[in-house]
């Protein structure tokens, strides 16, 4: 497959270090608050169910709509990014996820909340597609994986922020406090919008590619990624994303509820342990980036997927066997440390997420880079819908712990699948097609 770009113009060496780091900072900030707005919902599922007098399974449908939206947003806005530019798409995505989150705080029904979370999901998918392409196109091959890994720390940082916001805003005595969590979480998005508008520049690689696209407009259509030249890479990358997302979203969506049910911690206590998970993930993202530069993309993914395969059953077994006092976990130093360390290790091995941006960007040419990477990465979340919809069904049958542990199976399959896709370490990305 002729997927490596020709060495023409707009090389990363022509971009100043200051511009690269300013752009990386803007993308990181956008991704940070994107993750904040995406992550807060996991802390309010039970509260939302109580407010609207529905079952937990009904609220899970809100997550399913969100995940579907990320796939659609990644594909549609990814294609738009290839046409109008990375920066404009990032700006539109940031404004959309901030506004969607703000509106969640004023929802009068679960259906209305679904609509607003769908808007947030569209923006989450679109932002990643454009930001991953932008950073990949301005960075040299030998540092690309590390740059993307730093950008990806924004996701875990946002998850930590979501936990901190939830810890401080949610109140066990106020069943409507979940609304304030959404409202306050939306505010940083608008400041991020202004920063990107004034300080982040468009990708020179994309700008240099505009002339090619004027003469070959058909090569930028949404269905180009399904043509024989790219189909194998598209479908394999999508499969790996689905397997990686399937397990991740089961863990992300249900860990707060898992802790509330198994350990009987309060709604405002569960976020404490998710802070540990986020800190572990930040370290994992960075380690993955350095590892990918040393041993390649495929081997790094395999190591981290195997790590998740082992850590999920270890985590659920340990949590299920922690001693309870009067039916609930006491917040002693020992208990917090044990559960915190386990949470951090679980978070660490989610560091594989920092590899998707560079790997997928290196597989496809500039004219479809954002479209292809956005589709392959974000439609992985659509595949995860089956997982989160099965959880409420399986819990009464096999228990909460065993249901969560099943997520490890998808990680084992992912560890095998990564070797079916080509290694791209060292690939040059330029404006040529």
Please, what's the b/e burial string for 106-140 (b: 16 or more CB within 10 A of its CB; e: otherwise)?
ebeebeebbbbbbbbbbbbbbbbbbbbbbbbbbbe
Residues paired with 171 in a beta bridge: 174
**Contact 322/338 with Cβ under 8 angstroms?**
yes
- The answer to the question of residue 7 being in a domain is no
- The answer to the question of residue 427 being in a domain is no
- The answer to the question of residue 6 being in a domain is no
pLDDT for 3: 41
Higher pLDDT, residue 248 or 28: 28
pLDDT for 276: 85
**Average pLDDT estimate for 136-164:** 89
pLDDT for 13: 52
Q: Report CA 187 to chain centroid distance, whole Å.
A: 20
- The answer to the question of residue 247 being in a domain is yes
pLDDT for 217: 61
pLDDT for 2: 38
pLDDT confidence bin for 175, thresholds 50/70/90 = confident
pLDDT at residue 342 is higher than 50: yes
Which CATH number goes with the domain that contains 207? Answer: 1.20.1250.20
pLDDT at residue 292 is higher than 70: yes
Q: Give the position of tokens 């720390």.
A: 153
pLDDT confidence bin for 213, thresholds 50/70/90 = low
pLDDT at residue 22 is higher than 70: yes
pLDDT at residue 147 is higher than 50: yes
pLDDT at residue 173 is higher than 50: yes
Question: Rounded to whole angstroms, how far apart are CA atoms 260 and 329?
Answer: 10
Please, what's the b/e burial string for 2-30 (b: 16 or more CB within 10 A of its CB; e: otherwise)?
eebbeeeebbbeebeeeebeebbbbbbbb
- The answer to the question of residue 166 being in a domain is yes
Indicate the number of domains in the chain: 1
CA angle 342, 37, 83 (to 5 degrees): 115
Question: Rounded to whole angstroms, how far apart are CA atoms 405 and 375?
Answer: 28
pLDDT for 1: 37
Residues paired with 174 in a beta bridge: 171
Which uninterrupted H or E stretch holds 90? helix 86-104
The 10s digit of each residue's pLDDT in 267-277 is 666 666 777 88
Q: Residue 240 has which token pair?
A: 């790996």
- DSSP for 300-328? HHHHHHHHHHHHHHHHHHHHHTS--BTTB
Share of the chain above pLDDT 70, in %: 92
Range of the domain at 28: 12-420
Residue 429 backbone phi and psi in degrees, to 5: -115, 115
**Average pLDDT estimate for 204-221:** 73
pLDDT for 297: 95
pLDDT at residue 200 is higher than 90: yes
CA angle 345, 24, 369 (to 5 degrees): 90
The 10s digit of each residue's pLDDT in 37-92 is 998 998 898 899 999 999 877 888 888 889 889 989 999 999 999 889 999 999 99
Q: Report CA 348 to chain centroid distance, whole Å.
A: 14
Question: Rounded to whole angstroms, how far apart are CA atoms 165 and 224?
Answer: 42
pLDDT at residue 36 is higher than 50: yes
**Average pLDDT estimate for 359-369:** 90
pLDDT for 113: 95
């Amino acid at each position: 497959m002729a997927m490596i770009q020709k060495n023409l113009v707009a090389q990363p060496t022509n971009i100043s270090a200051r511009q690269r780091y300013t752009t990386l900072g803007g993308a990181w900030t956008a991704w940070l608050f994107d993750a904040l707005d995406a992550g807060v919902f996991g802390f309010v599922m039970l509260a939302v169910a109580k407010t609207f007098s529905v079952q937990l399974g009904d609220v899970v449908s809100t997550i399913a709509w969100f995940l579907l939206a990320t796939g659609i947003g990644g594909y549609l806005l990814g294609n738009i990014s290839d046409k109008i530019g990375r920066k404009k798409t990032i700006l539109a995505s940031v404004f959309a996820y901030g506004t969607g989150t703000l509106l969640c705080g004023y929802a009068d029904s679960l259906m209305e909340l679904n609509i607003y979370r769908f808007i947030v999901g569209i923006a989450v998918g679109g932002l990643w597609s454009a930001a991953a392409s932008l950073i990949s196109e301005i960075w040299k091959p030998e540092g690309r994986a590390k740059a993307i890994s730093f950008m990806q720390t924004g996701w875990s940082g946002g998850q930590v922020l979501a936990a901190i916001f939830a810890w401080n805003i949610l109140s066990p005595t106020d069943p409507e406090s979940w609304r304030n969590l959404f409202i306050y979480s939306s505010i940083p998005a608008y400041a991020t919008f202004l920063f990107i508008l004034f300080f982040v520049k468009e990708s020179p690689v994309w700008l240099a590619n505009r002339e090619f696209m004027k003469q070959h407009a058909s090569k930028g259509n949404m269905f180009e990624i399904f043509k024989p030249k790219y189909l194998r890479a598209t479908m394999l990358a999508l499969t790996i994303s689905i397997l990686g997302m399937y397990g991740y979203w089961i863990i992300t969506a249900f860990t707060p509820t898992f802790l509330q049910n198994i350990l009987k911690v309060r709604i405002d206590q569960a976020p404490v342990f998710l802070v540990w998970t986020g800190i572990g993930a930040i370290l994992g993202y960075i380690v993955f980036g350095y590892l990918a530069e040393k041993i390649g993309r495929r081997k790094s993914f395999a190591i981290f997927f195997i790590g998740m395969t082992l850590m999920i059953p270890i985590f659920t077994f340990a949590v299920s066997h922690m001693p309870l006092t009067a039916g609930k976990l006491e917040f002693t130093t020992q208990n917090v440390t044990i559960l915190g360390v386990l949470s951090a290790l679980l978070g660490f091995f989610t560091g594989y997420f920092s590899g998707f941006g560079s790997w997928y960007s290196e597989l496809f040419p500039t004219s479809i880079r954002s479209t292809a990477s956005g589709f392959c990465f974000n439609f992985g979340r659509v595949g995860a819908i089956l997982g989160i919809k099965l959880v409420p069904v399986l819990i009464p049958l096999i228990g909460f712990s065993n249901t969560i542990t099943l997520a490890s199976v998808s990680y084992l399959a992912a560890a095998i699948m990564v070797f079916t896709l080509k290694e791209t370490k060292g690939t040059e990305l330029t404006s040529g097609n």
